[in-house]
Amino acid sequence: MDLDFGRNTDWISKLPDSILCYILSFLPTKYAVGTSILSTRWQYLWTAVTSLDFDDSVIFEERSTRSDDIEDEVDLSFMNFVTRVLLLNDARCLKKFTLSLGSFCNFDVVNSWISAAIRRNLQKLVLHFSLGEEHFIENPVQLPRMVFNSKTLVELKLDGDIILKVPASVWLPSLKILNLVDLKYEGEDALQKLLSGCPVLEELFIYRWIADIQQELSIYVPTLKSLMLTRLVDEYYDQINDSDSVDESNGQHYKLVVNAPKLEHLHLNDNVAEDISLENLSSLLKAYVVVGSSFSIPVRSTDSGGRTSKLLSGIANAKFLDLFTDVKDYLLPTFHNLTHLRLGSCDGYNLDMLKDFLVHSPNLEVLVLEGNRVVLGSTKHWTPPPQVPCCLSLHLKEIEILKFNGKEYELEVIEYLLKNAEALKKMTIDWKYSDSCFSGEITGFPRGSKTCQLSLLL
């Protein structure tokens, strides 16, 4: 028997067209079409690929050295290519259509491509336009209405210089994944309108610089499982706004409401909203939350403590929580399900919050404390809770101390935890930002758990 059968190239050349075509679907379309040059058998293989991916930047890189005439010629060449491919490709259903544009900006043509793709029962549409602010102001790009009324679209990713103008009727009955990055929105309710037409949406990703009118954002999606929301204040806008900050009370009110009973994953970094309401997050498993003064510049709110308390009570079901905050004034609910907690702050440890979490997380098993390289206020001291919290005596197994600085209060915290965490199996300290002269001191601290291992990472 031929042991090297698998390496026999005759056999490889008998690879069925269906597999070759499947492999071609993973190539950018430029390369897939390029394989037509290999042999007569390959000439039309690409016409059955179910995934099309066009990117004009391949040419764009050389563009700076080109004259306007050549530039027009290149645009024409790209346009003819995409149009021909769309005409010749005869896959009955298109799985994916990706279009990345950095220079081609004939949007009558672009929109006809997008419509043509949508009409082929498209499942996934990815648009990435980076055409520059100047172009954008002159010719804001709107998507064809057909995009908002597709029965087959499962995934929609929009990134860059696009205005989200949502038609009066939106119906995307199959859409499960929606990504909106750096878009401009036409009208306050564009996003709301879009969400209301997505009856089975599971994943929502929004990244947005706020530099426009007041905004009340409500995300009420009963089917949503994962939400990643980042809204940041534009620094430029901020400077303008600072000059007449006296007018802050003139009705500017940013509000965020999330109501999603099936939500499992929440990633929230919103330094815009003064009022955050997280309602009905009964399925929440993992939360990553950034909130508070040093992380959000500027703080518009006068009551950041109340805002934080409301936010914390909204995520109290979480099993895994990563929380980055400097807020000192808050009320902490009990986190009954919490087993994994990571706490970080811009200003060394948020000691009060650490104390409160130990008291209010009865089932905590893993604790990660993230310090900071530059710590300004080093005069603070650790005040332990009056009684040893039950998570320490029963459940806490693993502690990780990241970015250890060697400050007095850090040593106090480590000493307290080592002494009182009776179930502790492992404590790891990352020393990268300090000298190692504390190692003797720390290894000498009495330990409540006899089986605790201490590792120092240098």
Partner 1 sequence: MASAPENEKNASAPEKKTLTLKSMINNEEFVVDEHVALQSVTIKNMVDSDCAGDVIPVPTISGEILALVIEYCKNHANPSASEDDLKKADAGIVAKDIYTLIDLVLAANFLDIKGLLEVTSQKIADSIKDLPHQDVREIFGVENDYTPEEEAAVRAEHDWAFEGFP
Site string for partner 1, 71-110 (x = CB under 8 A): ------xx-xx--xx-------------------------
**Displacement of CA 121 from its chain's centroid (Å):** 28
Looking at beta carbons only, is 12 or 376 nearer to partner 1?
A: 12
Q: Which of 38, 70, 331, 457 binds partner 1 (CB under 8 A)?
A: 38
Q: Which is nearer to partner 1, 253 or 340 (CB)?
A: 340
Regarding 377 and contact with partner 1 (CB under 8 A), the answer is no
Contact 56, 104 (CB under 8 A): yes
Neighbours of 218 (CB within 10 A): 15
Closer CB to partner 1, residue 74 or residue 353?
74
Start-to-end CA distance of the chain, whole Å, equals 56
26 vs 237, beta carbon nearer partner 1: 26
Residue 18 or 250 with smaller CB distance to partner 1: 18
Minimum distance, C-beta of residue 364 to partner 1, in the bound complex (Å) = 21
Residue 339 to residues 184, 283, 421, Cα–Cα distance (Å) = 39, 15, 15
For partner 1, which stretch binds (CB under 8 A), given 27-35, 336-344, 397-405, 448-456?
27-35
Report the nearest approach of partner 1 to the CB of residue 310 (Å): 31
Q: How far is the CB of 30 from partner 1 (least distance, A)?
A: 5
Between residues 285 and 390, which has the closer beta carbon with respect to partner 1? Answer: 285
If the CB atoms of residues 56 and 270 are measured against partner 1, the closer one turns out to be 56
| 23, 87, 457, 458: residue in contact with partner 1 (rule CB under 8 A) | 23
Nearest of 143, 137, 136 to residue 112 by alpha carbon: 143
Separation of alpha carbons 343 and 310, rounded Å:
18
* Pair 156, 128: CB distance under 8 Å: no
Binding segment toward partner 1, per CB under 8 A, in 32-40, 97-105, 192-200, 264-272: 32-40
**Alpha carbon 393 to chain centroid, angstroms:** 36
Tell me the closest approach of the beta carbon of residue 306 to partner 1, in angstroms. 36
Q: How far is the CB of 397 from partner 1 (least distance, A)?
A: 17
Give residue 229's identity as a one-letter amino acid code. L
Segment contacting partner 1 (CB under 8 A): 16-24, 128-136, 179-187, 352-360?
16-24
Q: Is the dihedral of CA 108, 110, 111, 113 positive or negative?
A: positive
Show contacts with partner 1 in window 39-78 (CB under 8 A): 39-43, 58-59, 77-78
**Residue 126 near partner 1 by CB under 8 A:** no
Stretch that binds partner 1, among 25-33, 176-184, 226-234, 372-380 (CB under 8 A): 25-33
Size of the site for partner 1 (CB under 8 A): 42
Contact between 27 and partner 1 per CB under 8 A: yes
Residue 43 vs 302, nearer CB to partner 1: 43
Between 106 and 277, name the residue whose CB sits nearer to partner 1: 106
CB of 225 to partner 1, least distance (A): 14
* Residue 86 to residues 127, 160, 270, Cα–Cα distance (Å): 16, 24, 41
Q: Return the residue of 15, 93, 331, 458 that touches partner 1, per CB under 8 A.
A: 15
Query: Toward partner 1, which CB reaches closer, 28 or 306?
Result: 28
Residue (36 or 439) nearer to partner 1, CB: 36
Binding to partner 1 by residue 217, rule CB under 8 A? Answer: no
Q: How far is the CB of 79 from partner 1 (least distance, A)?
A: 9
Q: In the bound complex, what is the minimum distance in angstroms from residue 234's beta carbon to partner 1?
A: 33
Residue ranges in contact with partner 1 by CB under 8 A: 1-3, 5-7, 9-10, 12-13, 15-16, 19-20, 22-28, 30-31, 33-43, 58-59, 77-78, 80-81, 84-85
